[in-house]
Structure formats: structure tokens, C-alpha cells
Structure 1
Amino acid sequence: MNARSYASHVQEIESFGLGLNRGTPARDAAVLRSWQRCIERHRLDPAATCEAYIVPEGQLRVHREESEPLIRIARSGLERLYQQLAGLQYVLLLADRHGITVDFLGHEGDADALRRAGLYLGSDWREDRAGTCAVGACLEGGEALIIHQSDHFDYTHTPLSCTAAPIYDHRGELAAVLDLSLLRSPESRSSQSLALHLVTSTARRIELAHLMERSRSDWVLRLSRSPDFLDVDPDAALTLDGAGRVRGMTQAAARILAQAIGLPWAERRDLLGLPLERFFELDVDGLPSLLRHRLAQDRIVRARDGSILFAHAIEPQRGSATPVRDATPAPSATTTATTTPVPQALRALSAGDAHLDALLHKAARLAPQRLPVMIQGETGAGKEYLARALHAASGRPGPFVAINCAAIPETLLESELFGYLPGTYTGGASRGKTGLVEAAHRGTLFLDEIGDMPLHLQAKLLRVLSESEITPLGARQPKPLDLRVISATHRPLTVLVDQGLFRQDLLFRLNAAQLSLPPLRQRQDLDALIDRLAEAQRPGLRPTPEARALLRTHGWPGNLRELHNALCHAAALSEGPCFGPEHLPETVLEASAGLPQTVATMLPRLPAPPLEPPPHVSDATDPEDPAGPADPAMALERLLQRCQGNVSEAARLLGVSRSTIHRRIQRLALGERRVRWSPADRRD
């Protein structure tokens, strides 16, 4: 690191932050806006340096699966652009809407250097993590730009020169960013002007190809300012349904339509569903006159703002014309599961369990909505995985921010959640701190173990959700906030409300929709899950029949987390393609050894619960006899066997407290017999 250059870079940004050089012409306006966001919104320190971050392989796989259709369409455009730049040492990155690089083209000989610089598959270029950078600033501003050398906020990235352009989907949402970067470049910023032109043109072609792929049953109207390239490389395109209403558009088309009716570009989503004649002196009946059989210079359309364009209309494909439809067919709660496609991020959570598949269809319908979702499930059942998949399928451009309300000390929880301004705390960060709630702006806030949040913070959270704004500690003015909230708990919140430990109004706010994950012991896809998780540990790894039988009969009180740990243990101890009982953890062996054979064969076939949680025992039931039948000792023992001795699970199924179960065990003298089959209760 060049100490003088580093000090100069930090001083310039700090002076800008103090308002001393905000009018400097040395920096592009987009760069200065990004610096301001880094200082004021992201609370980044220009003196701190951070190496490029590559996400773990599993997380990258989720991002790539979500972006697979766009990657497939964009790939030919990327390869063509890379060939055009052969020998110039450029690297091409395709980042998704979360700032994660999901496709990459670069010289194999530079792989190590590119990975260190973050010009590599899986690199995270969100502005709140990497500071001012081309991908992050493009995602924030939605415009093509150049971030050249010392334009970068983090000094670590100042050797790079990066040029990026946004790729919008057919609804006008920013779907991806195409980036063209150099490890080493000329000092002059203007040297990247050609790169800016090339990356913008390629992004425009990718948008057009993506729109055409989706629009086989619609009219397509291509537009150009000049007739010369209208039929081969148009400037813009939009799609129309059978009634002539706008169903989709490229970014350039959205700008043309917005300009035609005087609508601000930021309100481009309002263009969907409007009739063609609202924008042009043309309706759906006039589209056949714009087919290719006429010369391009004769296919003229006049926009409502008086501008002249050349147009090329493409008919719907034969046999695929569709009746009049809504321009924005958002999923609704009444859509049947069989007609709602389940995104890959959600499909990956099931290996064939019918109950879970039904729940994931419900989740797919909820994902694009802003409704708060409450996820119920035992510890380790996969609540955070489901929350992340909901975010991935939601289309929200911001980050997924997870908060475990039980893991953060209560004394720190308020400042961690809501942040604070400089000087609020003695010993606090000199620049203050952005809270985790604010960090989820435009994204998803996941509140895990919400039942453990202290009451006074519940009140503040309720205000944030009600007003859609947040006031950091020490601040006088609130900040607007756009987030979607997903909560999770293994605790009965309605009981906590009755006990005065949880606010009922907050529960109503968080529980607009509920998803109840089944425990692992009640899932029908256990065998497939075992094979999938074993394969992830080591390709080809499988259990022997004896080991599989033990895995089937274990009660899995720790659910997916416990199964994952057991297979990690087996993979570490085994050497061949198979692992046996001797490679499994002692907890699995001990639990299986203590079970009667009849119970062992029964456990894997337990019926799946309904989608809604089981009803509580009626008030007429004797609380000291929760099992109810004529032989309460046998009934309670059978229930505890099914629950692997887990008193919490037995109490949850019956809708009574753990203390009620424990008192009944003592009254019926089940204690000695429980020792044989209750290893799980030692962890209860």
C-alpha cells in the first residue's frame, strides 16, 4: 500500500463527508452520490480497507439458480462482447439484483489475481459491503456509469477500473448488472468511454432477448430513432396483449413511454396495463400496418409528446395468441397450487415430501407479496432457509438481513437493531452505526426467535413497522424505510401474549400469513434428504443399509441441523464411498439402541401434520391427564415414545405446558422406564 496515496484518498473522502469539497468537478456526480450513501446510509469508514468477499458455494448456487433464465439468455451476449475485447485484459461480470456475480468471463491465467480483486464468480459487490463500486452504484442508481480507480470508496479497489450498465426485466425492475472491469488501466478516466458504450449496448440487447423470450404469445413493438437498424438492432421494444395494453418493456422503451405522457421515469411500473393509444397516435388495430413487409422508413409512429419514431411490429406466434389479460398478473392467495410455479430457491427445500410441497406452493404465492410472514417450526427445522428462499423469490432488490433475537445480548439489542448517531454512546463507533433494521431497506428483514425480543423493543419495532420509518438512537428525524418482514419462532406466541410477554398488536402485525414447517421425523422425504446431504459432504457418499436404518429410526430433535451434523461426522470418519453405523455420532446410536423395535419401525411412517398447527386440547380435558384415554400411563408412555422422550414436543402436540407433562410422569411413576428411550429429553 502506498501510504501517501492512501492518506490522500482517505482525506478527500473525509473532506467530502464534512461538506468541504462537495462541488468539486474532479469526480462524476454518480461517484459523489455513492460516496454520500457510503458515509450517511451505510456508515462506512474510508480509512478501513476490506478485501473482496466471495460468497460460499452453497449461497452462490442459490443465486445462480434464481438467475438461471437470465444467465442462459445473457451468455451469448457476454461471449460476443468478450471476443470483441480479446487481448485487452477486460473481465466481464454478470451480477444479480443482490450484487452477487453469477456469471464471469476472464483470462484463466489471471484467476488468482482476479479472485483477490473480486473480479470473479461469487464476488459480492453490494455498495453497503464494498463501498463505491460500479456494480453497487449501478444497483443503487439504476444508471450506467464508470467507477475509475480512485473513484472507489475503499482504497483496496482503487487499482481497478469498472464500467457497469443495468439490465431491467420486462416489468421495469432492475434484474442484473453487466460489468466490464480491468485490473490495471490507463490513468485517464476517459479511456473507459468505449467500455461504457459497449457494456450499455450489450445490456440493451440482453434486455431485448429476454423480452422476446417471454413474449411469444404477445404483440412485440420494436422502436428506433432511425430506420437504418430498426429491423436488426432496435433501440427499444415493448409487448402488448390482445387488447393493445402494455405487458412488458425494455428500459429504453420505458423511458420513451414515460416521456410520451410526462410520467417520471421512477414511476415506470405505472406504465404496465395502459393502452398503446395512451402513448402513440396508434392503437392495436394499427399494428399490422407496421409489419416488416413495408419499408422501415415508411413505418412511422408519432408519440403523444410529438416525437417521431420508426416501428416494427411482430405478430404473436401462431397458435399462441391469448385472450385479453391483466398486464400485471401478480400471484394471489386464491391461485391454486397447481397453477403457481414454485421458484427454484423454494423447490430446493423439499426432496419429495407431500406436506412440505404443499407448503412451498403456498410460499410461492406469498413470496412476491409484501405481507409479513410468520414461520413456525422446531429448532433446526429450516426456518431461516425458508426465509432466505422467500426473499430470493420475492424480487426485492435489497439485501436479506437476519437477526437472531435470542443470540444478541439484551443490552446491545436496541443499538444493533436500530443503530445510533455519532456521540450517542461513550465508546461507540465514532461515525455511529447503521442498525440492522435500516440495513434491510428495500430488502427483507428476518427476525428469528422473535418470541425472545424484550417488550420495550417490541413497542419500538411495532412503530417502525406501522410508520415505515426508523429513528436511530440519538436522532431527531426519522428515515423512510421500505422492507418486508419475515419472523420465525419455535415458541407459542399466543401463549406468550396471554402471559403478557409478547404484544398482541405486534403479533397481529407480524402474523399476516403463517407457514408451519414440519419436523424432520414427520417428513416423507427423509431418505432423499439423507442422500442429498451426504452427496453434499462428499460426491458419491451413501449410508450402508444398517446406517440408513439407524438414521430412519432416530427422532431428530435437532431436525435438519442435527441430520447435517450427523452426516458431517460420518463423512469425516469414513474413508470409502459408504459409511456405516460405526461412523455415526454416539447420540444417534444411543437413541436408536434404547428404542423398542416396534417404535423404531413406526417412527419413519408417522402421518404428516395438517398445514395448520394442531388444535389445543379442549378446556374440558383434565390438565393432569393430558393423554386422555382409560389407561393414561400407557397412553402417555406411547406419546413420549413417539416424541423420543422430548417433553417439549409432547406438550406442544397436546397444547399443554411442559410442567404438566412432568407432573404426570411423576404421578404415573414413568421415570425409571423413560431412561430406556428418552435420550432426547436430556437435551430438552
Structure 2
Amino acid sequence: MASHVDHIREIESVGLGAATMRDATVVQSWLRCINKHRLDPAQACEAYIVPDTQLREHRQQSEELITIARSGLESLFRQVAGQNYVLLLSDRAGVTVDFYGDPLFDNNLRKAGLYLGSEWSESRAGTCAVGACIEAGEALTIHQTDHFDNTHTPLSCTAAPIYDIQGGLSAVLDISLLSSPIKKASQNLALHLVSATVRRIELANLMAQSSREWVLRFSRSPEFLDVDPEAGIAIDGSGRIIGMTNGGAKVLARSGNLDWRDPQALIGQPLSRFFDMDIDDLPDLTRQHRPQDRLVFARDGNALFAHAIEPNIAVRSPAGARHDIPTSLRNLSGGDGQLAALQAKVAKLAPRPVSILIQGETGTGKEYLARAIHEASGRTGKFVAVNCAAIPEPLIESELFGHLPGAFTGAAPRGRIGLIEEANGGTLFLDEIGDMPLALQSRFLRVLSERELTPVGASRAKPLDIRVVSASNRPLEALARDGGFREDLLYRLNAATLVLPALRERSDFVWLLDKILAKHRMNGEALAVAPAALLALKAYHWPGNIRELDNVVSVAAVLCHNGVIEVSDLPEALLRRALPQRSEEPHTQRGALEAVLASCNWNVSQAARSLGVDRSTVHRQIKRHGLNHRN
């Protein structure tokens, strides 16, 4: 093994542009360590174990993943028993939230950082398997002197990323040795084992979160299709992709000539965009048919064996009886499985003083959830909502912290109580927290850590008792990695993270629509939706989520006759997008096509104009679906 001096010189020369025989992932990591993280290879950095309170926060956020992954980790640990391997499950921040190792070597493992609570982010530990895996997003081995820091050069570490069903990196599984053979190729088997385990964890997670939807699993061999598939995707009732494993994302991306690293280009697309099939073909791919007969063809010409698993409609809430859920939380959904699990989680968190971060697309109801948390918390103070993106940056500090009389030019003569102080004894809701200026983030971090605030122009701090709920539709972890958001503030805000599903992912659409119809009824008369219009609403992708649905209904309520919303009352843009087209072969759903034809009284020319296609395309789709005016 090279000496420490040689190792340092090699890193410094690579930093200056010299060539090396190291893997490209190692070189890229070394350069990030030097240029981005400003680390010095000559400065040794001992392994870091986060404090117990911080570890509890990280484990709480990863509780669901730890539970799902545990069976796979135990199986992997049994496979490598007696070979002195250690398994680390790290979260997105690089903190080890679960750990499997020989207790006889506890002291050595803790000293080396191969232990529960160790932080292996690249900015903290330099080039290492967990940190480089988080950055690269792919499985890799960092072997001995591949490590940036001399402290870690005895180790050989192999890691693979675990992706959530929306395509975001959620964790890393690492398998490490305190000492290993000199050759890096000795860890090829470890790389295979950790990648296979991650694949099974992702499939288990997809199945757990998509039990009310169709799940389609793939294999290149019929023999392994039903027992150890290679990839999976989840499909909603309208035939759109709503979830996937990383392998599933790569299958879709290859088929559609897209980038699997851009999951937003995959999620929400119709199944027929990627395969020569649609949702009506899925029953032919269930276990009632022989594996070798379940062959599907991707749009890029590749053939795969597929196993379709039907939705389990009779899913029970994991949280016990519904009457245990506070009323404010019960009103969040009408039986959607994802939201039932969320309600149960929130019911436990609401009375606790922990900070909560709500993530979700624009319009999914983040403020509504925050208010529900406040109402279920038992706190007697006010609920104060602050949109960090709506307040002009020069005013946001005085708006949040308040100010004394004459504290600055233009200050209110009598001073002003800030929004933070206004929430004293209650809940402060910070919407669009990702837009808070960096300088102000430092001040707010002090508020959270010290539980006191100092108004602008004041010299004394005031004690504070607030519960903080924040929300963002932006990936705060990525912002933090890029320096746009303070990591230490993020970890204060996301003691618990709640993710609101998009409207297109929810199974209680009709229940939600009924709630909105009741809100917009005219002159006290009930509103209704004609069957054809309901089919069109269900087929739409809803990029604006609940807020967009509310806007559509509010306009349709004014336009409709006799309190019944017809297809003609819906926006033309909605109808076009509800029926996604390709230039040669549109992939429409039977029900949505019927809806447009019904609205046009089966005038094919008018239907074609509504859809933005020619008449021959509509005729071809009518023939394909076996439709006629009497249906």
C-alpha cells in the first residue's frame, strides 16, 4: 500500500489536472473534496458519530425505510457471515441509521466509523463509498487508497443507492471491511450482493406503498420472474405511471429515450408511452398465465417478461381505528391508502413538540395539513402562516422578527411585533421555506436552537414557545448540497418529514371532488358532474393538484346549466391534456375518449377538433376500442 505521503501527493496532483489510473468516480469525488468541500488531504479527519439526540431524529425520519429494509439487511448479513463485513444503512445525509456488525469488534468499528450514527457525507468524510454514492447516484466501491482521507485508507467500502418510488435517492446501503485484499476486484462480489439487496428493498417498498394500484414487475428470464424480479413500476387506474424502482426507471427511460435521472419525465406518463400495451392488457400478465407467456415489448424494441399484480382494494389503515384520528386530520382524505398512513403518523406527531417538514407538489394542500396539525396539537396559541416567497427580501427580517420604534428607515413609529412572536404559544407555519434568504436562515436557526428571538434594533432576546411546521415543493436536500440552504437548519426543520401525494396518485378523487362541489354550489343548490365530464376529470394529470381542481370546478359551476357540469363546461386545455397524443398513435383511454365523443354528440369532426387531431385518428381509436354510439 502507498505511503501516506504518496497518497496525499497523488490527490494533490489530480487536483492540478494530472492523469491517474483511479476509477472516474474516485477522481470526480477527489475533485469535489478539493474544489467544493475545501478539504485538505494532509489534514486527517477522524470518524464522526453524531450526538444521540441527532441520531434519534435521523432514525425517526427513516423509520419506515428501516422497517422495510430490515429483512433484506438481515439476509445479506447472513450471506457474508464469518467474512468480517459490516453493513451500514445511511440516510440521504450520510448518517448511519441502521447497522449490522460483529459485536466483538465494536470498539474497532466505532473508531473506524463503521457504526450506528456515523456520518459518511462527502463534505464530512471526504471520498468514501456512502458519500460518493450519494453524489453519483450509482453503486460503487471505494477501496483503500481510493479514500480521500488517510484515516480511512485501511477500509474497503461498497455502496449502492436506494431510491424511493418517485425516483428520489432516499438512502444508501454500504458493506465494508476494516481490512481487505489489496486488489479492488476482490470486492466485485460485494458489489453484486449489495446491488441485489437494494433491488429487493426497492421492490418491497414499491409493493408496500402501491398496494391499492397495479404493480408490474419485470425480468429478463421467465424462471426468475415471480420469485426475484429485476424491476417494477406502479400504475394507477387511468394507466399512468405513479411509482417505480430504480430498475423500473431505467426500463422506462430506455424505452422512451429519456434520462432515468429525471423522474419527472417518467412519473405521470401513460403506460402505453413506454410499452406496446395499456392498462386493459394487465390481467393477461397475472400469475394465472404461465411466466413464459407473459412477454411484453417496450417501445425501443426490447422484450421483457412481466408479472402484473392486481390492486388490493381492501387495504386497512396501519394506524388502528379511524376514531383514534383527530377530526381535523380525518378530513384530509376519503380513504386513500397513502393518506391513511399519513394521518396515522400525524396523529402521533401532532401533540409532540417536534418540528415537521411537509413536502409535496404545489397545490397538494400543505397549508391545510399544517393547520390540521396545529388543531390536533392541543396548543392554545395562534396558527401563523408565513409564505417566505411572497414577502419582499428587504422586509422579511422585520416581518418575521419584528422591530423596535425607529430601528431602521421606514420602520413603524411604534415598532412592530413579528410573525414569529405572534405565533408564541402556537404554531408557526413557514411555507416555501426554501426561498428564505441564507442570511436570515442563520438568525432563524438561532431561534430554533435557543428558543428565543431578538427583534430588529433590540439588545435583549425574548423567550419563545413555538411549534414550527415548514413546507416546500423544492428538494431541500439538493438545495443544501448546492449551498442554497443551510444543512444545519434543514436538520432542525425535518425532525419528521411528511410527504403529501399528488392528486393524480390519490384513490379518493371522487370524495375530494364532492367536497369541492359542495364548496362551489350556486344559490344553495347542489352541484353534480355528468358521467362523461367525470371521466375526463379522472383522466387528467392535474399538475396543479387540488388547487387546480378547485379552480376548474369554480369556473364550471358558473358555466353549467341546471347544476350539472358537462364536458363542454371544462377547459379545452384540460380535455386535450386528459387525452395525451403522439403524432402517429395517440394513447387515449377508452373512457376519456367516450367522454369527448359524448360531449360532441358523436360528431367525429368536432371531437377531432377538441383533441387537436385529425378525423382519421379518432376513427382509428373508435375502432380500436370497439366503440359505437349505442355503447
- Whole-Å Cα distance in 1 between the matches of residues 400 and 313 of structure 2? 53
Cα 1:237–1:154 change in 2 (3 A) is: same
- Supply the AA of the counterpart residue of 2:63: E
Give the match's secondary structure for 2:212.
coil
Tell me, yes or no, if structure 1 residue 499 matches structure 2 residue 404.
no
CA deviation profile, 1:312-332 (whole Å, cap 9, x unmatched)? 1111114459xxxxxxxxxxx
Q: Deviations over 1:451-497 (max 9, x none)?
A: 9xxx9xx88xx9xxxxxxxxxxxxxxxxxxxxxxx989863169789
Aligned partners of 1:145 and 1:196 also within 8 Å = yes
Q: Count how many residue pairs are aligned between Structure 1 and Structure 2.
A: 389
Q: Which residue of 2 aligns with 1:37?
A: 32
What secondary structure sits across from 1:231 in the alignment?
coil
* 1:293 aligned onto 2:288: yes
Q: How does 1:154-165 map to 2 (within 5 A)?
A: 154-165=149-160
Pair 144,290 (structure 1): closer, same or farther in 2 beyond 3 Å: same
Q: Deviations over 1:43-85 (max 9, x none)?
A: 1111111101101111111110111111001011101110111
Helix, strand or coil at the partner of 1:192: helix
Q: Secondary structure at the match of 2:134?
A: helix
- In structure 1, the partner of 2:16 is 18
Whole-Å Cα distance in 2 between the matches of residues 226 and 349 of structure 1? 45
Match of 1:78 among 73, 87, 104: 73
Over the matched positions of the two proteins, sequence identity in percent amounts to 52
3-state DSSP class of the match of 1:211? helix
**Distance in 1 (alpha carbons) for counterparts of 2:114 and 2:398:** 36
Tell me, yes or no, if the aligned pair for 1:71 and 1:103 is still in contact at 8 Å: yes
CA contact (8 A) 1:148 1:189 kept: yes
Q: Distance in 2 between matches of 1:55 and 1:203?
A: 25
Identify which of 217, 237, 247 aligns with 2:242.
247
Q: Distance in 2 between matches of 1:496 and 1:141?
A: 51
Contact 1:171 1:249 in 2 (8 A): yes
**Cα distance, 1:315–1:351 mapped onto 2, change above 3 Å:** closer
For residue 266 of structure 1, give the secondary structure of its aligned residue in structure 2: coil
CA–CA distance in 1 between the matches of 2:162 and 2:173?
7
Letter in 2 for 1:14: E
Matched position secondary structure for 1:180: strand
Rounded to whole Å, the distance in 2 between the matches of 1:336 and 1:496 is 47
Q: Residue 300 of structure 2 aligns to which amino acid in structure 1?
A: D
Output the CA distance in 1 between the equivalents of 2:330 and 2:420: 17
Q: How does 1:259-658 map to 2 (within 5 A)?
A: 259-319=254-314, 338-339=332-333, 351=351, 365=358, 491-492=401-402, 499-500=409-410, 518-519=423-424, 558-559=463-464
1:179 is aligned, of 154, 174, 179, to: 174
Give 2:187's match in structure 1, choosing from 192, 195, 201.
192
Q: What amino acid sits opposite 1:210 in the alignment?
A: N
Distance (whole Å) between structure 2 residues aligned to residue 366 and residue 218 of structure 1 = 22
Match status 1:100 vs 2:10: no
For 2:305 and 2:35, locate their aligned partners in 1 and report how far apart those are by CA, in whole Å: 45
SS in 2 for 1:234: coil
Tell me the residue number matched to 2:7.
9
Counterpart position of 1:465: none
C-alpha separation in 2, matches of 1:222 and 1:515: 49
Residue 268 of structure 1 and its aligned partner are, at CA, apart by: 2.2
Q: Matches of 1:188 and 1:271 in 2, distance apart? A: 39
1:119 and 1:501 mapped to 2: Cα distance? 54
For 1:492, the aligned partner's letter is G
- Report what 1:64 is aligned to: 59
Assess if the C-alpha contact under 8 Å between 1:138 and 1:166 holds in 2: yes
Unaligned runs of 5+ in 1: 322-333, 375-445, 463-485, 503-510, 524-555, 562-684
Task: Provide the C-alpha distance between the structure 1 equivalents of 2:33 and 2:122, rounded to a whole number of angstroms.
Answer: 7
Which position in structure 1 is the counterpart of 2:84? 89
- Whether the 8 Å contact between 1:62 and 1:345 is mirrored in structure 2 is no
Contact 1:160 1:182 in 2 (8 A): yes
In the alignment, which residue of structure 2 is the partner of 1:232?
227
What is the distance in 1 between the residues matched to 2:315 and 2:107? Answer: 49
Cα deviation for residue 266 of structure 1 reads 2.1
Q: Which residue of 2 aligns with 1:135?
A: 130
Summarize the Cα distance change of 1:490–1:268 in structure 2 as closer, same or farther, 3 Å threshold. closer
CA distance in structure 2 between the aligned counterparts of 1:349 and 1:313, rounded to whole angstroms: 36
**Structure 1 residues 242, 215: CA separation in 2 closer, same or farther (over 3 Å shift)?**
same
1:65–1:345 contact (8 Å) kept in structure 2: no
When the two chains are superposed, the root-mean-square deviation of aligned CA atoms in Å is 3.8
Structure-2 change in CA distance of 1:264 and 1:515 (3 Å): farther
Residue equivalent to 1:328: none
**Contact map agreement 2:401 2:420 (CA 8 A) in 1:** no
- Structure 2 contact 59–97 (Cα < 8 Å) conserved: yes
Q: 1:153 to 1:16 in 2, by over 3 A?
A: same
Q: Is the 8 A contact 1:100 1:123 kept in 2?
A: yes
In 2, Cα distance between the equivalents of 1:138 and 1:370? 33
Q: Is the 8 A contact 2:400 2:420 kept in 1?
A: no
Which of the two has higher C-alpha Rg?
Answer: 1
* 2:7 partner letter: H
Q: Does the 8 Å contact 2:133/2:172 carry over to 1? A: yes
Q: Over residues 90-124 of structure 1, what are the superposed CA-to-partner deviations in whole Å (9 max), with x where a residue is unaligned?
A: 00000011111000000001101101111000000
- Cross-structure match for 1:54: 49
2-structure distance, mates of 1:205, 1:301? 22
Deviation per CA, 1:502-529: give whole Å up to 9, x if none: 9xxxxxxxx9xx7767435x89xxxxxx
**Aligned in 2, Cα 1:493/1:216: closer, same or farther, shift over 3 Å?**
farther
Give the match's secondary structure for 1:181: strand
Cα pair 1:301 1:308 within 8 Å, conserved: yes
Q: Deviations over 1:634-678 (max 9, x none)?
A: xxxxxxxxxxxxxxxxxxxxxxxxxxxxxxxxxxxxxxxxxxxxx
Correspondence for 2:106:
111
> Residue in 2 aligned with 1:219?
214
> Measured at CA, do residues 212 and 193 of structure 1 come closer, stay the same or move farther in structure 2, by a change above 3 Å?
same
CA distance 1:87–1:19, change in 2 (3 Å): same
Does the Cα contact within 8 Å between 1:55 and 1:122 map onto a contact in 2? yes
CA shift, 1:41, in A, is: 1.0
Give the distance between the partners of 1:35 and 1:295, measured in 2 at CA: 50
Deviation at 1:6, TM superposition (A): 1.1
Q: Measure the CA separation in 2 of the matches of 1:103 and 1:72.
A: 10
Between the aligned partners of 2:409 and 2:104, the Cα distance in structure 1 is: 64
